[in-house]
Structure 1
Amino acid sequence: MTDQPDFPPRGAGPDVVVDLREYRNSKNPLPVTFHRRELDAILRIYGRMVGDGEWRDYAIDHTRDKAVFSIFKRSGEVPLYRVEKDPKLAARQGAYSVVNAHGMILKRGHELQQVLKVFDKALKLVET
C-alpha cells in the first residue's frame, strides 16, 4: 500500500472534458426505489394488517422502471396486493398505484397517502 493518490497529479497529462449528458446516458440508470417516508407509510399499513392476521409476508423489488412492494398472505403464493411506484406515470394518472392479485388497479394517484387509503376499513355502525 502506498501513500500515492490513485489519480495522476494535475498537469501530468491532458485534461479531459466530458459532456455530462453523454456520461449520464452511457451509464446504466439507477433503479427506482421507495424513499424512506414512502416505506414508512407502506409499512405502517402492513404492520396493522399483520396484527389483524390478514397479511404475513412481503417483498420489495426495485427495477429500472418501477419499485414494487408485494404483499402476501403466505410466502409461497401470488401476492394479494402490489403497491407500485412508476415515475413515468407521475405526470399522467399518478406514480403510485395499488394492484390486486388479478392485475386490476384498485387505486391510482399522485400521493401515496391517498392511494393507500384503499386499505382503510369501512366503519360499521354498532347499535348498543
Structure 2
Amino acid sequence: MSDQPDLPGSGRSQDAAVVVSLNEYRQNRDPAPVTFHRRELDAILKIYGRMVGEGEWKDYAIDHLKDRAVFSIFKRSGEMPLFRVEKNPKLASKQGAYSVINTDGRILKRGQELPQVLKVFDKALKLID
C-alpha cells in the first residue's frame, strides 16, 4: 500500500516503482563506520605520546569498522598489537562503549568514559613471557 491514494485515470498501480535519492539509498544500505571523535583521539594520543617518549611503544593503527573503532598499539610494526583501545557503541548501555584489550584478548578495563578506561595505562604495564 502506498501513502498516496490512486487517482482515477492516473495509471498508477500498487506495484509502481518509487523514486529514491541515491544518497539516501547508500546511507540506508551502508551505515557510516564507527569513528573516534577528536577529543577521544586527543586522550588516546596523549598517552601514546608519553609511552613513545619512554620507549615502550613504537607504532599505532586506527581501524574504523562498521560496528566498532579500534586504536591498536604496537611495540614493533610487524608484530601483533600490545594493546587495543576499542569503542563499541552497541555496548554503551550495558558494559560501556570503551575497552582496553591486551595481546591475549583479555579485557583489562571497560567503562562508559574513555579517560577512566585509559587510566589502566597509568600503572606500569609489562608483558610477561
| Range of TM-score over shorter length | 0.7 to 0.9
Q: What's the counterpart of residue 12 of structure 2? A: none
**Count, aligned residues:** 105
Fraction of identical pairs, as percent: 79
| Structure 2: runs of 5+ lacking an equivalent | 1-17, 125-129
Q: State the SS of the aligned residue for 1:48.
A: helix
Q: Deviations over 1:66-90 (max 9, x none)?
A: 0000000000000000000000000
Unaligned residue ranges in structure 1 (runs of 5+) = 1-15, 123-128
Q: What are the within-5 Å matches in structure 2 for residues 1-16 of structure 1?
A: none
The structure 2 residue matched to 1:93, chosen from 78, 95, 104, is 95
The alpha carbon displacement at 1:17 in A equals 7.7
The within-5 A match list for 1:19-98 is: 23=25, 26-98=28-100
TM-score, scaled to structure 1: 0.76
Task: Calculate the aligned-residue CA RMSD, in Å.
Answer: 2.0
Residue 121 of structure 1: aligned partner: 123
Residue 127 (structure 2) aligns with: none
Structure 1 stretches of at least 4 aligned residues deviating more than 2 Å after TM superposition: 22-27
- TM-score, normalized by length of structure 2? 0.75
